[in-house]
Structure 1
């Protein structure tokens, strides 16, 4: 579905230059507090986990320390699981789902796994409720060497410093109505192309990796999450956000080619969750619970698979 309405910045058919990117940034404002809503919760976890600062972003709006929370007694002989949230800072349940997992469920898995959680990869995006960073760069299309996104670089360097190969990487996201009303129109304007929207799926779904689909892993998560919230049905074309459904509630992307977060880590099991917070059937707590269930059911699947061998 294309739209003739042009975004308020830039000229139709012309890519943005530095002037347009600056105009976009100047249109953004702080809408909530990363320090009050996120950092305080992370710091409160320090009795049960190792809480470390792995970087800091300094933008005009302030300083943004980046935190990773790790299970104590990290051991390189145990399988390591990475959970990331807030790669797109505006996707709220991804951030708070990662924190809730740590608060309520993660300790039960620390005997078997090293748990590594980066709850909010893009804190400026969290505060301004944005998909991009201040330079109109999407961190979740920027996971490659010498990335222009400091958010992506910092996370990749932190994971590399762990010195392990990841068993699993679960990246917590949302698909929202603003994807069509704001973020896709802004992307089209930035790139100087025609805006094409997709149908926003009503419900939870997963994005797997087309090169490493982990079909049984994905289906196990979907089965568990549908006990918490509803799963998005395919649209009339058998698709979700323009991609063919590979099984109920699952689509696959080329995560490495697209430089997505789950593509950089070479994990044996990887998936990206997508919660729909604008559905009339859910509330904030339901969205957070769905994220937690996605993580715990994924870990349960891996534990069972290892025992079954």
Structure 2
């Protein structure tokens, strides 16, 4: 449904310029600490994993190291899997789900798979509980050559040496009520387009790659996650956020064409998870557990093939 412009920045029908970007930046408030909530946890992983800085995000006088966690005994003959979280920094369970997976489950896969984990791709977005970066760019539409998003460009540089070697990539996300109340309206305002609303799905769902669908992989993840939290049903139109369901809890996007994170590795098996933290039927702990269950299910699928 298209609605008239109502976002408090910009003029209906006109894309933003520098003045509107400055107004938007002035509204952003730091609400939590990347150093305290993410980096401090990563510090405790050095004894068990290879931990390295793969880049830095710098905005004005703010600087954020970008961290990657890798299997300590990398073996070229093992399948290689990438796990990413916090591409949209506000999507909390993606970040903490990735960290919990490393802390609690990754050791189970030693000698079975090479793991590369980037738990918080967008630290400025994490601190400001924001979908975009400081430049009002969505990192998860910016994974392409010449990316304008520092976060996306840095992650692509990280994975480049192994591109073509990845068997799977699981990218951890959330769909929240603020998608409808804030992030979709501001996107329409930024681009000078009408706001097209969609209902927010109540539950977990997955996004498969329309150019490379892997229904058995997605089904395995759904079956594992539904032991932890509920799966989103179809909406009144028979889909989820404007896309038709191709299976229970699964829709498809053209990942590479849209510049999505899950399209960067060339892996055969890719999936974007989406949990719903605002559901009356799920707690924050369940959302994190669902992310961990999704990663573990994806890994079990890969290592048994």
Range class of TM-score, shorter chain: over 0.9
The answer for the alignment partner of 1:73 in structure 2 is 73
- 8 Å contact kept, 1:76–1:164: no
2:237 partner SS: coil
Q: Deviations over 1:72-123 (max 9, x none)?
A: 0112222110000000000000000000000110111121110100000000
- The separation in 2 between residues aligned to 1:165 and 1:71, in whole angstroms, is 15
Instruction: Output the CA distance in 2 between the equivalents of 1:174 and 1:18.
Output: 30
Matched residue of 1:76: which SS?
Answer: coil
Helix, strand or coil for the counterpart of 2:245?
strand
Deviates more, 1:179-188 or 1:104-113: 104-113
**Map of 1:38 onto structure 2:** 38
CA distance in structure 1 between the aligned counterparts of 2:61 and 2:170, rounded to whole angstroms = 30
* Structure 1 residue runs without a partner (length 5+): none
1:134 has 2:147 as partner = no
After TM superposition, the structure 1 = structure 2 runs for residues 232-243 of structure 1, keeping only pairs within 5 Å, are 232-243=232-243
Which stretch of the first structure deviates more once superposed, 254-263 or 58-67?
58-67
Q: Tell me, in whole angstroms, the C-alpha distance in 1 between the residues paired with 2:61 and 2:128.
A: 10
Answer with 172-181 or 23-32: which moved more. 23-32
* 1:115-134 alignment runs, 5 A limit: 115-134=115-134
Q: Which residue of 1 aligns with 2:3?
A: 3
What are the equivalent positions in structure 2 for 1:175-186 lying under 5 Å apart? 175-186=175-186
8 A contact 1:143–1:264 mirrored in 2: yes
Question: In structure 2, what is the equivalent of residue 63 of structure 1?
Answer: 63
Shift in Å at residue 43 of structure 1? 1.1
Corresponding residue number in structure 2 for 1:13: 13
- Structural mapping, 1:1-309, within 5 Å: 1-60=1-60, 62-162=62-162, 165-304=165-304, 306=305
Matches of 1:50 and 1:42 in 2, distance apart?
A: 11
The TM-score with structure 1 as length reference comes to 0.97
Distance 2:159 2:4 in 1: 43
Runs of 5+ unmatched residues, structure 2: none
Q: Answer yes or no: is the 8 Å Cα contact 1:64–1:124 preserved in 2.
A: yes
On the 8 A contact 2:164/2:266 being kept in 1, the answer is: no
User: Where in structure 1 do 4 or more consecutive aligned residues deviate above 4 Å?
Assistant: none
Say if 2:68 and 2:117, in contact at 8 Å, map to a contact too. yes
Instruction: Provide the aligned C-alpha RMSD in A.
Output: 1.0
Q: Tell me whether 58-67 or 110-119 shows the greater mean CA deviation.
A: 58-67
For residue 246 of structure 1, give the secondary structure of its aligned residue in structure 2. coil
- CA pair 140-167 structure 1, distance change in 2 beyond 3 A: same
* Cα deviation digits, residues 229-261 of structure 1 (max 9, x gap): 000000011110100000000000000110100
Paired residue secondary structure (2:147) = coil
| TM-score, normalised by the number of residues in structure 2 | 0.98
Is contact 2:86–2:92 with CA below 8 Å preserved after alignment?
A: yes
> SS state of the match for residue 2, structure 2?
coil
Q: CA deviation at 1:5?
A: 4.7
Shift of 1:3: 2.5
1:61 deviates by 5.3
Shift of 1:210: 0.5
Distance 1:103 1:161 in 2: 25
Q: For the Cα contact (< 8 Å) 1:80–1:164, is it kept in 2?
A: no
Task: State the shift of 1:215 in Å.
Answer: 0.3
